[in-house]
Amino acid sequence: MRRQLSIRHRYDGDPPIDHIDFYRIEDPRESVELGLEEAFDGRSIVLVEWWRNAPDIIPEHRYEIEIEGAGEQPRIVSLRPVR
């Protein structure tokens, strides 16, 4: 039995939040085949994990969040605008 894994999950709210996880994308061309362009239409906040696996679908204007740390240790979070 093959397990279906979610790439996109929407959280309802005002505005809604779309969580996209490209961890399992092996070839960047796969991201275009997923039909996720509407997630980036400006009507929701989009949080993307592993965006480097699908760079062709990611908007040019965005914020990048880096989270450093693991386990029980404190995290360092940095936010950087990309334009």
Domain ranges for the chain, please list them: 8-82
29, containing H or E segment: helix 29-33
- In angstroms, rounded to a whole number, what is the distance separating the alpha carbons of residues 11 and 2? 26
Beta bridge partners of 79: 65
- In angstroms, rounded to a whole number, what is the distance separating the alpha carbons of residues 47 and 6? 14
pTM over 0.85: no
- pLDDT tens-digit readout, 5-61: 578 999 999 999 999 999 988 888 777 778 888 889 999 999 999 999 888 889 999
| Cα 20 versus chain centre, distance | 4
Phi, psi for 49 (deg, rounded to 5): -100, 145
Binned at pLDDT 50, 70 and 90, residue 2 comes out as very low
Tokens of 3: 């397990």
Architecture of the domain defined by 8-82: 3-Layer(aba) Sandwich (3.40)
